[in-house]
Structure 1
């Protein structure tokens, strides 16, 4: 009989949840092991260094020295891989650069093979590598961050500094402040897009700059309680918020807005607690930088009473290792959010 078109082949195997394995070929999930000695003919593999990409090229072991290339394509909102007439050689040394790729075979014929790469199963292998890549991408904002720190130090030295540069429309400072602030706002939006919290919890976390997470406390009568964030059963921690609200630019204390419904003592599941922790960190990164700069300025003033404000500012900015460490910590927080969003996206695609 004539070979069926690819679209018909895939449609025959599709159910309401997506594609199901080709029963005749007994497709399987390959174990994601790092042991190159386990690679056999027919196995699917991927370069570890390529795992920073969402949908990297994968390869099938054709012989002990030849690999066949598979490229991704999207159909009906799902990603699949098709074999190509392209091959690459490999040897014992290069085998160490690969990891097994878990796949599910969808179509297999004498003309083509189509597989689904179970991407979410390799997240544990590439999370650290992905975070490092994102942190490296954010390095392009290094100059903006230094001006951002300069703004924070100047605000500590002169509490009217931000109001003055706003009045004068000083884009040297304001431009970099907007850039860094927008990155943090974008990170918050991404985190909230995968976290079904109520508005009151979000406002509470954004309002209070300090928090304590209690993991060991009385568990009586908690079996009937649901997470305050996602409302699912399974309380893990108590998330306690405190501290004084502050102005987003001047960092000066402001009264609590009584119109807002804030929750300062929240019971959360393990997943929501981890996300609340990083959301709180990003929401108050600017304030914490200000507090850190205030501490450093205080040290300078105490140790060198005769130093002028300009000298203190220049000396602190000259501490490149200190500035780099602050920027590294901030970039790590941003990258963690990117990683969480990516994990959620892969899990949804695999469902």
Structure 2
């Protein structure tokens, strides 16, 4: 089978296309014939770090979609032939989705409805699960996303044109929240609106605090934050009492300085979201809810859904990594032959 691997740390050039034997699933595993692989920022960041001790090669990418073609002991044989989307394929494992066949634990392959294309399935994974966690960590919240679970809440999504931002807008809207998104250009504003944001604020041309406070006089209840260091003052200024700022990203050298005296009266909570280490029960709830949203047609991809897709063939995986590192807006996908 064709497989992309790396044997060292470095730039996109360390990724190699090689031929490898088709693997056999072990106990509790399924083998997926991968149709589309999804690339995340954590994929290129981990590529720049040394391989774990004892690991000689790594197949990248956590997300993907395809068809189960074999199962290991302990897995229902009826799963063979099932269309699935994959999450966390390569987390603490050598098998990612940048290859024709991959192995994942049974529960990491989630049924994909017939109406959902493989490119949608490959675009879920890390962004959708991150967005779910950010929307469900507030005090007194339902801990799940479904129609009506966020009714009455106001959600601010920073960077609504990005992959996580897009998923957060769509999930929050599905759950009944009032959704505001901040963006940095008219093009990104159009994407955030296409995703379903009720209001969009361009922070480069508008006073973001004034605009958001006008839209949400009582403040916002949940902030899904992509740049906590840059936006801390803004988040404090627009937060409602008891609000949470759930941040999932930041530059390598970014520092978060919290204005203590401004945060205290509102009992403002700053919550980091690193999806790989989210508690198991919360992550399983996220998987369940995201699957339900897909089944209901509440999660979509493509320009019409506010998430541009950038597709590369497997042999150009290095180019896909380079594009994501440059900051291309949207979701980067690999079509696997």
Larger radius of gyration: 1
The structure that is helix-richer by fraction is 1
More strand by share: 2
What TM-score does the superposition give when structure 1 sets the normalisation length?
A: 0.23
Specify which structure has the bigger relative contact order, considering alpha-carbon pairs within 8 angstroms and separated by 6 or more residues.
2
